[in-house]
Structure formats: C-alpha cells, structure tokens
C-alpha cells in the first residue's frame, strides 16, 4: 500500500464512517461529563483528571489514544526569553502537550505536536465568562521567539528555536463553567482579546462568539506541510513554492490539516481525531523542525515508543521520568496491516 492508498483508506474508514462518528460522539460525551462534574479550583487539577478520562477511551480500529499526567518541576515548564524591554522574561510554556502520529505499517506518514495552555473561566455563567491572558505567555505561544529552557523540558539552560511554520504550535484550551472547552490558537487569542485598556488582558465568550471570522492558520486555507515524496502528478498533491498540500476539491482535505479553532469539546475531538491539531514536524519521512522533532521523540518514550529509522516501534522501557510538569496526550493511527 502506498501513501495515496493510505490516505484513501483514512477517508473511507474514518472520515466517511458513521461508526467512527459515533465513536467520536462517545469520546466527546465522556470528556464533557467529566468536565461538567469535576470543576476543580486549579487548571492543572482539571487537566490531570481529564488525562484519566482520555486514557480510558477505547481503541477504534487502528486509532489509539493515550494520555499521561507528568509531574516534576514545581513551577511548570518554564522558559526564559526577551519580551519587549523586559530581558529574560520567564513564564510557563504549556499545561498540555499533544503528539499526533499517523503511520503506514509503522512508517511515519505524519507527526505533529501542539502545546496547550489551559485557562479556567473567571465567571460562572458561560454567556458572560472571561479568561485572563498573561501577555508574556501569549507572546511566547504566538511567536515562539528564541528562548532558554529553565526546567529541562528541552535541554536545560540551552537556547531553543522552534520554527512554528503553521502557526498552530502554540494554543489555548479555555474551560467553561458548564463543562465545555474552547480551543484557539495563540494567534486567535491575540486577535480577539479585549482591546480596551481596562480589559486588555482578557478574552471573553462574546469576543469569541461574535468574531466575524476566526483567523485561519494560513492564507487561502493552504496547509504547508513541507517537502514530501509523493509524485506531484497525483491529483491529491500539488506543489506551491516548494511546499505541498492536500486539496479536497478546491480546498484542503478535511484531515491531516491545520485547524486553528474549535468552539466546544465535540469540535475539539473531531479535529483531534482527524489529525488537524498541531504543527507538522515530520511529513512522509521529511523532518521539518529538528529541535521539535527531538523533543517529541523523547515524549513518545513516556508511552513506550521509539522512532527508529522513520518507523514507530514499541519500547518496553517506558518508565521515563521528565523534569517538566504537564499532561501529554498521544494519538496514533496505524493505516497498514499492523493494526
């Protein structure tokens, strides 16, 4: 089976499947039930409980989801960077890391990573709730300036540069009082937060709901995936400025894409399980960001996986300890015979 056949298989077995839609609905319902009944005072406690719910989700054919809450550095995944006139500003990088991988007979077709900063609403009525946004952290997640790691999440005291080509590496997960969650890229949070001086550091439900158009990750809905090895003469792949994308008629495929917002848990689950969330860092065996790739391979070890010569393999030694304190969500779809 080649890549084109594998993409067609994903379309048939997942995207156009009623059974898969029911599986997505069940997954969404389980998350929503938890969030509605377990409103903890702190974001990290909500995320920790959410990890347990996600880890119980049953497998669907070749698609498997795992979740783990990693404890460690007491102040979170701290990094240091220049912010305006403030030299060596410091803040947390993220509460959650999402790693998504699609394989064909264990060979990686697509590997993506997303950092999520979770925020709990400051008001108790969804229609009027708001979320406080730390401007330094927003700057970090939107722009990813070169930073120095202070917690060991990458390499302690080493200068780190992440490319973030898609603009979907840094994101926010906003918890609502009714047990729902809104997903926005950092760019969308920046564009739709309050502009008045009094409320400049918040984003409200009305800001999001009334936005005339949420910012897409890229112009013309083009999904920049980096170089791939598919024959350019195939209709499923086209070339533009030395990059490739998956068109769906006149637009992209509705999966393996870069989605920049989801307005409730059902939308989040849909985009997550169609592999639309996160920054692509390995596409058809071509690595697009070596630093992020190396970090992600370390994360995969916490789930008992290693990447060997472009293939995802099981690793019996999964007792890996990390210094960062975050939750990790791992989603994997195998499209070949080894499922």
How far apart (Å, rounded) are the C-alpha atoms in residues 108 and 229? 13
pLDDT digits (tens, 9 = 90+) for 70-89: 654 445 567 888 887 777 78
Tell me what the mean pLDDT of segment 257-266 comes to: 87
β-pairing, 170-175 vs 107-120, is: parallel
Question: For position 99, what pLDDT does the model report?
Answer: 92
Q: Is the pLDDT of residue 137 over 50?
A: yes
| 297 within some domain | yes
CA–chain centroid gap for 222, Å, is 18
The DSSP output letter for 60 is B
pLDDT digits (tens, 9 = 90+) for 150-175: 776 677 778 889 999 888 999 999 98
Q: How confident is the model at residue 195 (pLDDT cuts 50, 70, 90)?
A: low
Domain limits at 164?
Answer: 3-334
The DSSP output letter for 169 is S
How far apart (Å, rounded) are the C-alpha atoms in residues 189 and 112? 21
Question: For position 229, what pLDDT does the model report?
Answer: 38
Tokens found for residue 27: 């997954």
Question: For position 93, what pLDDT does the model report?
Answer: 84
| 172 within some domain | yes
Global pTM value = 0.84
| 263 within some domain | yes
Q: For 27-31, 246-250, 280-284, which range has the lowest pLDDT when averaged over its residues?
A: 246-250
The secondary structure of 97-164 as a DSSP string is EEEEEEEETTEEEEEEEEEEEEEE-SSS-GGG-EEE--HHHHHHHHH---EEESSSSSSTT-EE----
| 78 within some domain | yes
Tokens found for residue 36: 């509605």
Question: For position 5, what pLDDT does the model report?
Answer: 79
Q: What is the dihedral of CA 299, 274, 213, 131, to 10 degrees?
A: -40
| 339 within some domain | no
Question: How many structural domains does the chain have?
Answer: 1
Query: 272 phi and psi, to 5 degrees?
Result: -65, -45
Any residues with CB less than 8 A from the CB of 249 and at least 6 apart, and which?
A: none
Q: Is 50 helix (H, G, I), strand (E, B) or coil?
A: helix
| 143 within some domain | yes
Q: Is the pLDDT of residue 234 over 50?
A: no
Q: For 138-142, 263-267, 319-323, which range has the lowest pLDDT when averaged over its residues?
A: 319-323
| 181 within some domain | yes
Tokens found for residue 266: 């059902």
| 37 within some domain | yes
Q: Is the pLDDT of residue 225 over 60?
A: no
Judge contact between 182 and 214, C-beta under 8 A. no
Judge contact between 256 and 277, C-beta under 8 A. no
Strand partners, 174: 119, 182
Q: Is 24 helix (H, G, I), strand (E, B) or coil?
A: helix
263: closest CA among 327, 320, 178? 178
Q: How confident is the model at residue 141 (pLDDT cuts 50, 70, 90)?
A: very high
How far apart (Å, rounded) are the C-alpha atoms in residues 217 and 105? 30
Question: What is the percent of the chain with per-residue pLDDT over 70, rounded to a whole number?
Answer: 74
Q: Is the pLDDT of residue 284 over 60?
A: yes
Q: Is the pLDDT of residue 251 over 50?
A: no
């Amino acid at each position: 089976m080649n890549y084109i056949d594998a993409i067609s298989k994903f379309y048939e077995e997942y995207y156009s499947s009623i059974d898969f839609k029911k599986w997505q609905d069940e997954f969404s319902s389980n998350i929503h039930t938890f969030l509605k009944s377990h409103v903890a005072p702190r974001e990290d406690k909500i995320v920790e409980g959410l990890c347990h719910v996600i880890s119980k989700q049953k497998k669907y054919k070749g698609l498997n989801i795992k979740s783990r809450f990693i404890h460690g550095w007491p102040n979170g995944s701290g990094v240091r960077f220049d912010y305006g006139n403030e030299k060596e500003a410091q803040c947390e990088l993220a509460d959650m890391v999402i790693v998504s991988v699609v394989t064909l007979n264990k060979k990686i077709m697509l590997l993506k990573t997303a950092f999520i900063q979770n925020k709990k609403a400051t008001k108790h009525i969804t229609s009027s709730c708001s979320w406080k946004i730390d401007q330094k952290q927003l700057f970090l997640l939107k722009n990813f300036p070169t930073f120095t790691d202070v917690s060991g999440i990458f390499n302690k005291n080493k200068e780190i540069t992440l490319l973030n080509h898609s603009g979907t590496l840094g994101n926010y997960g906003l918890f609502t009082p009714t047990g729902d969650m809104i997903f926005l890229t950092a760019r969308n949070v920046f564009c739709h937060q309050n502009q008045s001086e009094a409320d400049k550091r918040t984003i409200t439900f009305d800001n999001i709901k009334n936005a005339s158009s949420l910012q897409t990750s890229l112009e013309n809905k083009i999904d920049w995936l980096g170089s791939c090895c598919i024959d350019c003469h195939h209709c499923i792949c086209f070339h533009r400025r030395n990059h490739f994308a998956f068109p769906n008629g006149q637009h992209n495929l509705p999966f393996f894409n870069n989605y920049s917002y989801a307005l409730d848990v059902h939308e989040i689950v849909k985009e997550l399980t169609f592999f639309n969330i996160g920054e692509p860092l390995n596409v058809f065996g071509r690595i697009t960001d070596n630093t992020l790739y190396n970090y992600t391979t370390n994360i995969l070890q916490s789930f008992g996986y290693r990447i060997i010569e472009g293939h995802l393999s099981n690793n019996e030694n999964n007792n890996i300890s990390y210094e960062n304190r975050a939750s990790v969500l791992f989603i994997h779809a195998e499209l070949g015979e080894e499922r």
